[in-house]
Structure 1
């Protein structure tokens, strides 16, 4: 029995109970209540899958001949509940819970459990859960239900295919969470655009239109490149530019024309330079990107063939703090758009690095090497992408038209990663003496993390952010404990967990 896993599960469960107790009194509509009940039953099944192997070592994951998942980390199946909890929690809180997107996220939990433990009991329990929301699903048209079913099947298939294509890049929980994120976006966009519920020309804000087009272009271009290379075994560089060029001509430019009209370049520049604040933010972010490049070169030169330490890598957390805090306070909608586009750029750069695409591939490979985290065991380097995701997910979950710089939920990534994770690492390195059971993290580092986040909360309060004292303290303490105990990648799970806890706060 591993004490760390037991403690980690206890921390996650405490947060879920806290959120569930609050939502039980808040939910009013039938779908909200059913979603909450579905989550509760799903989490009980998750607990069994998480804890039973700890008491029966024969059930633990062992496959030395074919390692598909990250080693030195437990499966982390509980991660598959994070995004559904965040989505349902915020949706109930504001009274807006889209049925199909929510149902998909809920269904991914039993699908995940069946995939990783295909016992008769798991399959029967999963089938019974699928019937839970049947009355809500049958109200939708055939097209929507067909798309919903196709996305669910795709999710189940990719749970197997992605780890085979990218071995040792994920734990079971991490790949589940990543697939939930990507497929929920695809489901939402497809439903909205193809059914005409979202008119790209009129209904979306300019920033959303630009972000949606950029994301679709990057996603389609990347998928087309991987498929084409796998089928043709062609050379990386020509194939890369060919697929992205054709995607730009056939997808991106038509969507830009549909969204903004024939003068889309002028409209995009007008959106970017709409206010002096956006100009200042853009200049400051450009300077910070340049500073990051300089830091990479300097650290790479000084590392002399080795790797930099974990606390040295936290300098990028500070750079992200310098990007996100002013952006959230001054223009959160502009940050929303910029972060989506930034993620697309990082995906393209990672594809270039992995495939040695001229002219940046070799340079990126050389300079990324010393910054690789011990958790990056596979071919793809995910911690930088997860860092951007961690800061951005609390912003993306909230619709752009509801973004409010005084909403503490937006700062879940800033608090948990930019302040908490950074100070836990630095403080633990200098002052850490006593370690948590089964973990490299220290109790002193966790205490410093909590105190630093409380100080940051006070600073945000002074800047006009609405901070509810006791609820915020609970969120900070539980998130700091999870940071100390989890073997999942912090950048991905901590912000979502804190966002769930902050969903208790009044709007």
Structure 2
């Protein structure tokens, strides 16, 4: 019976929500398979590109194994409609031993790694579901918690390895900049919620956290000014500046679309929202071909900007809070049932995840030609496939194939488009 409940956990969600005091996104499946997506991709990438792995990525290989075992424990506990018991996380010890044995990590760091991928991951999972009701399915919460834990975990190794060996590669520098930006925004969010920061206090805190968690640490990591480094990357040659100008034009078009729908009565349809998918394709394809490192850096910075805008919207901080809320109301879809606007974040993540998890996505010519098809997978699935499915499915999506597990017509269109 327990085995059956594990794989049909969506049928027991009302009872599960009541007992564990959280709310998942309505009208969606549990999506438990997502809890294995990120660690599995990291493990496969590590073995496939072992020659170019950094020390931090090698740590993530074993870390991902711990996440998989912990995810299994979480699913088993959810099937029993209980929390994960501490004694179920016994694999904390062998995972720590793997860090100590195969990567020659010290005892304290091995324990630190084992704690992060087990105990802290389980805690982050429950906190996410309770803090953001109706924003995630069970699987989406697991994937988000894993990304959050990986971000926190890799901060210390990056600091340690940058002291031993200065960071000189563009890709590694971009990774550290993205990581510290997201880390600072997480701290800002915690301060804003716990200390009820509003108006000027929010912006003063933002400047202070920017200096203490982003600018100063990055001077230590990179041994140079991060702002000047980014500026140099943006203006390194005429071709790069043309690409940046082209991206700015695409961004302005997206802003105009948002303003247009904000002024219109009623909500945008699914097909109308796909204009953002088309604009994203227009940004990513030339970026992968000609400015791979800049696309990698820009996508990570944009993710942090999305988080910052979500804080401004949810806390109604002037002058953008009300404007963002009106735009959100006009463009939200069924995935935005909770307090978070997850649709733009999911769109960005879907396009960029292949680029983020690849150990070395950009070659010496700043292009992704050698890994073009794998890095295009997000664009093909989310950009091309999902757009075709939505546009045609909005008209023909009422047709089902016979059988217990019916397939919608637009699913076939998505497969055909890919």
- In the alignment, which of 69, 81, 103 is matched to residue 62 of structure 2? 103
Shift of 1:225: 3.7
Counterpart Cα distance in 2 of 1:341 and 1:52: 38
Secondary structure, counterpart of 1:198 in structure 2: helix
Counterpart Cα distance in 1 of 2:222 and 2:13: 54
The answer to whether the Cα contact below 8 Å between 1:206 and 1:271 also exists between their aligned partners in 2 is no
Change (3 A) 1:263 1:104: closer
Counterpart Cα distance in 2 of 1:131 and 1:263: 41
Shift of 1:343: 1.0
Residues 309-318 or 124-133, more deviating: 124-133
Change (3 A) 1:332 1:188: same
Change (3 A) 1:209 1:255: farther
Are positions 1:417 and 2:379 aligned together? Answer: no
The answer to whether the Cα contact below 8 Å between 1:79 and 1:176 also exists between their aligned partners in 2 is yes
- In the alignment, which of 316, 330, 352 is matched to residue 392 of structure 1? 352
Per the alignment, residue 184 of structure 2 pairs with 220
- In the alignment, which of 52, 62, 83 is matched to residue 15 of structure 2? 62
Per the alignment, residue 51 of structure 1 pairs with 7
Shift of 1:63: 4.6
Residues 266-275 or 62-71, more deviating: 62-71
- In the alignment, which of 24, 44, 50 is matched to residue 89 of structure 1? 44
The answer to whether the Cα contact below 8 Å between 1:207 and 1:334 also exists between their aligned partners in 2 is no
Q: Give matches, 1:46-445, under 5 Å.
A: 50-51=6-7, 53=9, 62-63=15-16, 65=18, 66-95=21-50, 98-118=57-77, 133=95, 135-139=97-101, 140-152=105-117, 153-193=119-159, 195=160, 197-199=161-163, 202-206=166-170, 208-227=172-191, 229-230=193-194, 232=195, 234-259=196-221, 265-302=227-264, 304=265, 306-400=266-360, 402-403=362-363, 404-407=368-371, 408-435=373-400, 442-443=408-409, 445=410
Counterpart Cα distance in 1 of 2:98 and 2:390: 46
Q: Which has the higher contact order (CA 8 A, sep 6+)?
A: 1
Counterpart Cα distance in 2 of 1:270 and 1:200: 25
The answer to whether the Cα contact below 8 Å between 2:258 and 2:327 also exists between their aligned partners in 1 is yes
The answer to whether the Cα contact below 8 Å between 1:420 and 1:452 also exists between their aligned partners in 2 is yes
Change (3 A) 1:263 1:301: closer
Secondary structure, counterpart of 1:62 in structure 2: helix
Change (3 A) 1:275 1:259: farther
TM-score, normalised via structure 2 length: 0.85
Shift of 1:142: 2.1
Structure 2 unmatched ranges of 5 or more: none
The answer to whether the Cα contact below 8 Å between 1:50 and 1:78 also exists between their aligned partners in 2 is no
Counterpart Cα distance in 1 of 2:415 and 2:270: 19
The answer to whether the Cα contact below 8 Å between 1:192 and 1:198 also exists between their aligned partners in 2 is yes
Counterpart Cα distance in 1 of 2:215 and 2:92: 40
Shift of 1:228: 5.0
TM-score, normalised via structure 1 length: 0.71
1:288-327: per-residue Cα shift (whole Å, max 9, x none)? 110011111112222x1x2111111111110100010110
Structure 1 unmatched ranges of 5 or more: 1-44, 454-507
Counterpart Cα distance in 1 of 2:405 and 2:342: 22
Secondary structure, counterpart of 1:117 in structure 2: helix
1:352-394: per-residue Cα shift (whole Å, max 9, x none)? 1111112111111111211111111111111101111111110
Shift of 1:111: 2.2
Counterpart Cα distance in 1 of 2:228 and 2:134: 45
Counterpart Cα distance in 2 of 1:52 and 1:294: 44
Shift of 1:101: 1.6
Change (3 A) 1:53 1:341: closer
The answer to whether the Cα contact below 8 Å between 1:278 and 1:331 also exists between their aligned partners in 2 is yes
